[in-house]
Amino acid sequence: MRKLFWLCCAMVLASCAALTSSPTPAPEPPPVVRAPEVKTVAPAVTPAPVQELDSKEPAPVPQATIKVVTKESQQERVEANKLKVRPIKNEKTDAAVKAGKVVGPVITFAGAARADGDPTEPIGKTKQGWPIFLNHVGSGFIMVIEGKPGFSNLEPGRSIFRYDPEDPTERPDLEVQVDRPLGDGSETVCDARPPNFGGIPAIKPTSFAETAKVAAALNDMSCRFEVFIESDASCTNAPNGDFSFISGDEATVQFCMVVARKWRFPEGDTTVSVRLRDRESNPGPVSKFVIRRVPRPTRPPQRIPTPTMTPVRRRP
């Protein structure tokens, strides 16, 4: 019995040892629970209606750009954009021309202004009543010519260069000449551009005859001018500093020339003769003025006293 008892015990121990020595199976991982997938759907965009080019209905205009048009606003716009009415020709012009009467534009101012556009006052008049303008160097100032319609009531012409060597009747509407040569007195017509700068020839005695020499000299002078037709956009200034014709509202056109060194006035008195033609080439009366170039008076040399040596004082 004892042997049987011990045999059973040995078998029980062997079975326990076998159970403890066998590997324990790993537990299975818990199942992964995934959140349900949410699909985002973009809201539908309604495309803007495209206006066809041939559509008769105009695109809507924002309320801010709509301007109320009234009768008064329309009248103001018409007045602002109103063009000047050209003067009507005097019916007696042709008869006056046949009778030898001067019917062209009248000169309202002829003289000089400073380089900055400020007018200069004449220093006096000649025996004939022509104003005298003083200049010390003969250049660096502006010659100014202004005019208005004359007997013909036609606008002054604005041409400053009209030249044909074969036709002396071709001449500018601004006719200016001098009785003494300016600069080197070059006879080349309109040599006022680089590199060939030149002066202006003289016509003495004064003549507006229809000759080749006179036509060339008139074109040589007038081509150096510029034309201004608005008083508030001129080459000269009013006393308050605004642009203005020297003769004010009386003038309808202004011609200005900057006198450069290449065509400066010589020393002494030079008489300038001017006349204008209207848009039908009728000349007006001649106006004259004098440019007097007098060198500035030189200062007498100042005597500088010679220093004298101060004697050295010695102590006793």
Mind listing the pLDDT tens digit for each residue in 87-107?
Answer: 788 899 999 999 999 999 999
Residues 104, 275 contacting (CB under 8 angstroms) = yes
The closest alpha carbon to 272, from 193, 184, 203, belongs to: 203
239: CB partners within 8 A, 6+ apart: none
| 212 has a pLDDT exceeding 70 | yes
For residue 53, name the pLDDT band (cuts at 50, 70, 90).
Answer: very low
For residue 283, name the pLDDT band (cuts at 50, 70, 90).
Answer: very high
80: CB partners within 8 A, 6+ apart: none
Worst-scoring range by mean pLDDT, 51-55, 135-139, 291-295?
A: 51-55
Residue by residue, DSSP assigns 7-76 as: HHHHHHHHHHHHHHHSPPPPPPPPPP-PPPP----PPPPPPPPPPPTT-SSPPPPPGGG-----HHHHHH
Instruction: Please state, for a pLDDT cut of 90, what percent of the chain lies above it.
Output: 61
User: Does residue 86 lie in a domain region?
Assistant: no
User: Does residue 62 lie in a domain region?
Assistant: no
What's the token pair of residue 199? 């002066």
What's the token pair of residue 38? 């949410």
User: Does residue 171 lie in a domain region?
Assistant: yes
Which residue has tokens 């170039």?
Answer: 293
User: Does residue 180 lie in a domain region?
Assistant: yes
Q: Looking at the 3D structure of the chain, how many domains does it have?
A: 1
What global pTM score does this model have?
A: 0.68
Which residues pair with residue 271 across a beta bridge? 290
| 85 has a pLDDT exceeding 80 | no
- How many beta carbons lie within 10 A of that of residue 214, not counting itself? 18
The conformation of residue 227, written as its DSSP 8-state character, comes to E
The closest alpha carbon to 277, from 229, 213, 208, 223, belongs to: 208
User: Does residue 206 lie in a domain region?
Assistant: yes
User: Does residue 20 lie in a domain region?
Assistant: no
pLDDT value, residue 311: 75
| 227 has a pLDDT exceeding 50 | yes
Mean pLDDT of the chain: 83
User: Does residue 14 lie in a domain region?
Assistant: no
pLDDT value, residue 67: 58
Most distant CA atoms of the chain, gap in Å: 182
The closest alpha carbon to 110, from 273, 282, 285, belongs to: 273
| 196 has a pLDDT exceeding 60 | yes
User: What is the residue range of 187's domain?
Assistant: 105-293
User: Does residue 40 lie in a domain region?
Assistant: no
| 71 has a pLDDT exceeding 70 | no
For residue 126, name the pLDDT band (cuts at 50, 70, 90).
Answer: very high
Q: Are strands 174-178 and 192-193 parallel, antiparallel or unpaired?
A: unpaired
- Which regions of the chain does DSSP assign to beta strands (E)? 106-113, 124-125, 131-135, 142-148, 174-178, 192-193, 196-197, 226-228, 253-258, 268-276, 287-293
